[in-house]
């Protein structure tokens, strides 16, 4: 599967429940989503409806975020947020059960912003502990926890691949959890001023998922100035075999016009 469509940011002119089928109609076999529910512990019938939507659309769920708070309101995850740690922990089993039912094996844990009045060192200790708990929760379904640098959120402390790798190494050293990996989002990295080529060369072996959008603008590949095609080729050459997540914004009638239909799916 060469590409997967992030249905939380693309096809937004449609209700969320209709987007997986729209992605399938556009020629894609996989979709990924941010946390698609209003709270961290949705009712069973909500989860059932979500799973049915994917099944009826005949798409594979390739990635799912853990609950991350109010993303439009500026939240960027609960992992290191002391006041909402219990909420995150309650979410872990829900995520693992969705993975069990859908075959999803990649789960993105947004680290969380720095919180006013909270000690950053204490937040990082909590973050490592919660990432280890998340890793153990999805380990039973063969899952991997993803951690990513993020742009556009000044209070989010992970801005480069090195920032993420330091956290992942701490989780392994302090808690023994190893089923975690770097989500290599070329858009966030580039906007943060990272040397994407250098980071790719240094950390290719730690990359567990890839997402792309062009910059400036967070539009489709080819709409900005980033050498996305070359970066994807370099990641493939370095051994990355998973799907590339399309996580860009587009108001175009055909948001996938840049990608020939025969290249969208392997079947």
What are the residue numbers of the active site? 148, 247
Q: What is the C-alpha separation between 80 and 238, in angstroms, rounded?
A: 31
Q: What is the C-alpha separation between 164 and 171, in angstroms, rounded?
A: 11
**DSSP string computed for 89-127:** HHHHHHHHHHHHHH---EEE-------TTS-HHHHHHHH
Q: What is the C-alpha separation between 134 and 99, in angstroms, rounded?
A: 13
Instruction: Give the start-end residues of each E strand in the chain.
Output: 3-6, 30-33, 60-65, 106-108, 144-147, 180-185, 207-212, 244-246
For the chain, give the number of residues. 267
The two tokens of residue 74 are: 């500026």
Q: What is the C-alpha separation between 64 and 33, in angstroms, rounded?
A: 5
**184 DSSP β-pair partners:** 210
């Amino acid at each position: 599967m060469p590409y997967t469509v992030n249905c939380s940011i693309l096809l937004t002119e449609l209700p969320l429940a209709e987007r997986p089928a729209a992605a399938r109609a556009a020629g894609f076999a996989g979709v990924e989503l941010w946390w698609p529910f209003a709270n961290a512990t949705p009712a069973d019938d909500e989860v059932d409806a979500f799973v049915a939507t994917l099944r009826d659309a005949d798409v594979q769920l390739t990635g799912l975020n853990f609950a991350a708070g109010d993303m439009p309101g500026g939240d960027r995850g609960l992992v290191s947020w002391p006041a909402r740690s219990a909420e995150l922990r309650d979410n872990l089993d829900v995520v693992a059960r969705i993975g069990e039912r859908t075959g999803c094996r990649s789960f993105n844990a947004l680290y969380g912003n720095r919180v006013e009045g909270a000690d950053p060192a204490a937040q990082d200790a909590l973050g490592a502990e919660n990432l280890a708990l998340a890793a153990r929760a999805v380990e039973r379904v063969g899952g991997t926890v993803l951690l990513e640098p993020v742009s556009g959120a000044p209070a989010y402390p992970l801005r480069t691949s090195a920032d993420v790798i330091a956290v992942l190494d701490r989780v392994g050293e302090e808690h023994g959890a190893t089923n975690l990996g770097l989500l290599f989002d070329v858009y966030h990295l580039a906007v943060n001023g990272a040397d994407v080529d250098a980071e790719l060369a240094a950390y290719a072996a730690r990359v567990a998922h890839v997402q792309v959008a062009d910059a400036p603008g967070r539009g489709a590949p080819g709409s900005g100035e980033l050498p996305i095609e070359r970066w994807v080729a370099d990641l493939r050459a370095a051994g990355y075999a998973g799907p590339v997540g399309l996580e860009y914004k587009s108001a175009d009638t055909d948001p996938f016009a840049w990608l020939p239909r025969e290249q969208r799916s392997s079947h």
